[in-house]
């Protein structure tokens, strides 16, 4: 059964208590449903210790109140409170996020707590024969009454509007007074077309609207005032009409590339295709070159007719953008740096694709730097992006360590060995591993518990990598307070505009004379 699929409990269940004989024989009870019937007026506090329950039947009793402790039954999927004498419900009922069925028929409820709007997975809400407000009853009577009423309650529930604070973490002082100091932000801003109620049902619909989220995103960018911005999931129309014009007013210039599918669409449709953008402060940097890497085209170029690469990698149209920037005159030692921003394929079932995309990316960066007439180890490099890969993944291992075994399990059953060696002929002689010329380092896994936070997933998948010894991390923006994290179901929410957190690092670009 799919994790989101729900099958109502069978009322003809046949669980029974174990006899002494059963216990002697070592039999164990595995019941997950409980029914309490009779003229029950009060519930034993011991009931709230049965955390394993998935269905609880309290119908046909004389209950006048439901204790708030019911929310301790965190695994409950079905709760039947029909035919009691309930006049109100505890707001804590809204914390039972797993609930799929909540039956409240034949009670004396006049109002519902707005907190019930948090039950975004609820599929059936029984409210028959209650003296409810007409507005509530009319919404509930609609064809999709349960989901419409849950949305109404969530949208009208009071939400804290204070921005959660993130602390700046200083790691060390600059080591040279002539060094260039600059900051880099990496941020998946969550494309409007992906930000739907179907995906983020735990969020009020008004806070999913692009107008609301856009305002918060720009507030974040201007508050942190980074010298370089690497943004993912920027839609083409938003880059042209909003991001570039607005950021220009604040001293930035930028480049952008949409996903490759945009080339196959008519102009009007291509405007909603998302991609990657890099912005930089013109008072700090001068643009020398910019490049776009289309992974599907690179896959074709490097496939040699290999069907696995053509069928799996070529069909994914992710891109990366890279710029060669030069520090502006006025600094003692002007230098060139390469900044790259990417968004890898999302699906965990295609871990091999993400590995190949990463190899293609690093190979292209190697080529760009060599075309500059430089050795890759001599040029400062910053890699930003949403890699859709955890710190324990082969992608992260490769980027951080500069190598990965050719038989790594994330290649799955596919035999990419010959193709990988061919992609990097300079280092292909090391047949058991694929080497990348840069060794890059990242701070995030140790200092932030997550960069992406939704109801279904919490983890680190966004990174700011930098080469060494050219660059040193002077400070970073820390994560969210644990107490705030525990108080929310997931992002986006009214004060956090994306399902990702922005990352921010300050770097010291060491003068070439002191490396």
Q: Is 129 left (phi over 0), alpha (psi -120 to 50) or beta?
A: left
Residue 386 annotated as catalytic: yes
- Tens of pLDDT, residue by residue, the chain (515 residues): 444 667 778 766 555 667 788 777 777 777 899 999 989 999 999 999 999 999 999 999 999 999 999 999 999 999 999 999 999 999 999 999 999 999 999 999 999 999 999 999 999 999 999 999 999 999 999 999 999 999 999 999 999 899 899 999 999 999 888 889 999 999 999 999 999 999 999 999 999 999 999 999 999 999 999 999 999 999 999 999 999 999 999 999 999 999 999 999 999 999 999 999 999 999 999 999 999 999 999 999 987 778 888 889 999 999 999 999 999 865 557 899 999 999 999 999 999 999 999 999 998 999 999 999 888 888 999 999 999 999 999 999 999 888 888 788 888 888 776 666 666 545 443 333 455 666 677 766 678 899 999 999 999 999 999 998 889 999 999 999 888 998 999 999 999 999 999 999 999 998 876 66
Q: Which two three-digit tokens encode residue 443?
A: 């701070």
Contact 166, 317 (CB under 8 A): no
Cross-strand pairs, 161: none
Of the residues 80, 386, 462, 499, which is catalytic?
386
Which among 292, 380, 293, 385 has a CA at the least distance from the CA of 338? 380
pLDDT given at position 469: 85
Question: What stretches of 283-370 adopt beta strand conformation (E)?
Answer: 285-294, 319-327, 336-343
Task: Count other C-beta atoms under 10 Å from residue 220's C-beta.
Answer: 20
List of residues 6+ apart from 513 with CB closer than 8 A: 333
Contact 455, 118 (CB under 8 A): no
Contact 138, 116 (CB under 8 A): no
pLDDT given at position 1: 40
pLDDT given at position 23: 77
pLDDT given at position 513: 66
Contact 490, 200 (CB under 8 A): yes
CA gap 96, 103 in Å, rounded: 14
Pick the CATH number of 168-509 from 3.90.1150.10, 3.60.10.10, 3.30.565.10, 3.30.70.2740: 3.60.10.10
CA gap 117, 413 in Å, rounded: 45
Contact 342, 319 (CB under 8 A): yes
- Please tell me whether the overall predicted TM-score, pTM, comes out greater than 0.85 for this model: yes
β-bridge pairing 252-258 and 433-435: unpaired
CA gap 376, 360 in Å, rounded: 15
Q: First vs last Cα of the chain: how many Å apart? A: 57
Pick the CATH number of 20-156 from 3.40.50.1400, 3.40.190.80, 3.80.10.10, 3.40.390.30: 3.80.10.10
Domain parsing of the chain, residue ranges: 20-156, 168-509
């Amino acid at each position: 059964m799919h994790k989101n699929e729900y099958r109502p409990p069978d009322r003809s269940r046949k669980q029974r208590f174990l006899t002494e004989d059963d216990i002697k024989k070592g039999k164990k009870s595995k019941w997950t449903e409980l029914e309490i019937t009779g003229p029950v007026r009060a519930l034993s506090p011991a009931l709230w210790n049965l955390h394993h329950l998935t269905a609880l039947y309290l119908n046909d009793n004389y209950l006048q109140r439901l204790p708030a402790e019911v929310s301790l039954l965190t695994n409950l999927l079905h709760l039947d409170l029909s035919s009691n004498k309930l006049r109100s419900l505890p707001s804590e009922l809204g914390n039972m996020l797993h609930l799929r069925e909540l039956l409240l028929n034949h009670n004396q409820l006049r109002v519902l707590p707005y907190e019930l709007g948090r039950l975004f997975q609820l599929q059936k809400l029984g409210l028959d024969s209650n003296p409810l407000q007409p507005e509530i009853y009319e919404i509930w009577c609609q064809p999709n009454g349960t989901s419409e009423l849950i949305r109404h309650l969530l949208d009208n529930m009071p939400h804290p509007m204070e921005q959660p604070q993130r602390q700046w973490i200083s790691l060390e002082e600059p080591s040279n007074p002539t060094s260039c100091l600059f900051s880099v932000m990496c941020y998946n801003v969550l494309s409007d077309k992906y930000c739907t109620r179907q995906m983020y049902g735990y969020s009020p619909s008004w806070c999913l609207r692009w107008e609301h989220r856009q305002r918060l995103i720009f507030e974040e960018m201007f508050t942190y005032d980074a010298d370089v911005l690497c943004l993912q999931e920027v839609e083409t129309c938003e880059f042209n009409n909003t991001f570039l014009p607005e950021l220009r007013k604040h001293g930035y210039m930028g480049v952008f590339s949409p996903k490759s599918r945009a080339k196959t669409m008519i102009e009007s449709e291509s405007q909603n295709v998302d991609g990657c953008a890099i912005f930089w402060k013109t008072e700090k940097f001068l643009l020398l070159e910019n490049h776009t890497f289309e992974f599907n085209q690179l896959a074709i170029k490097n496939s040699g007719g290999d069907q696995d690469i053509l069928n799996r990698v070529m069909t994914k149209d992710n891109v990366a953008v890279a710029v060669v920037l030069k520090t502006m005159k006025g600094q003692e030692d002007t230098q060139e740096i390469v900044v790259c921003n990417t968004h890898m394929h999302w699906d965990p079932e295609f871990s091999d694709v993400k590995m190949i995309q990463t190899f293609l990316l690093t190979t292209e960066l190697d080529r760009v730097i060599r075309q500059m007439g430089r050795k890759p180890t001599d040029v400062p490099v910053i890699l930003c992006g949403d890699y859709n890969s955890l710190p324990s993944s082969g992608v992260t291992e490769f980027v951080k360590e500069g190598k990965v075994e050719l038989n790594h399990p994330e290649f799955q059953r596919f035999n990419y060995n010959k193709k990988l060696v061919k992609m990097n002929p300079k280092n292909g002689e090391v047949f058991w591993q694929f080497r990348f010329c840069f060794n890059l380092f990242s701070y995030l896994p140790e200092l932030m518990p997550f960069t992406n936070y939704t109801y279904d997933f919490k983890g680190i998948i966004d990174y700011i990598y930098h080469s060494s010894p050219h660059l040193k991390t002077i400070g970073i923006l820390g994560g969210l307070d644990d107490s705030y994290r525990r108080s929310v179901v997931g992002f986006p929410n009214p004060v956090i505009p994306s399902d990702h957190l922005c990352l921010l690092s300050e770097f010291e670009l060491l003068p070439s004379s002191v490396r």
